[in-house]
Structure 1
Amino acid sequence: MRWPAPWRDATQLSNSRLVLTAEQVRALGEELLAVVNRYEQGQAPAGTPGTARVVVHTDVFLTGEPSEGPPGS
């Protein structure tokens, strides 16, 4: 099935590599979850005209060993 242009244009795929503290990683994960939860709470019932089921996939994970020493070193 080929989705209509408005649906194709609305989707996205993103990948970012960040350098963060443990606290920033925690805050980022909490903020992402809060956004998804807001949309989950306001979603239309299944089958509502003009809607489609979507999947939101979020991952926040380490890709290397944490640096030692004070921030910025």
Structure 2
Amino acid sequence: MFHVIVGLSFWEMGKEAIRLKDGKPLVETSRIQSVKESDTVWVLKMKGMEMSDCGTYTVRILVLLVYIS
């Protein structure tokens, strides 16, 4: 399981931001699910890792930083 901490634009894109290494969207099954734990944390959960799960998962992120002084 890995955690992804992102900005507001990811919240708007939701699960569509998580892609497989070949650019295809992540397909959720009973074994693979992405869960929103808070406004800035999504968790990709894999139950029982299989050989077909090996590879790189990319996340498209546009981060908005606002500093108030």
Name the TM-score, length of structure 2 as normaliser.
0.32
- For the pair shown, the structure with the greater C-alpha radius of gyration is 1
Which structure features the higher share of helix residues? 1
Which has more strand, going by share of residues?
A: 2
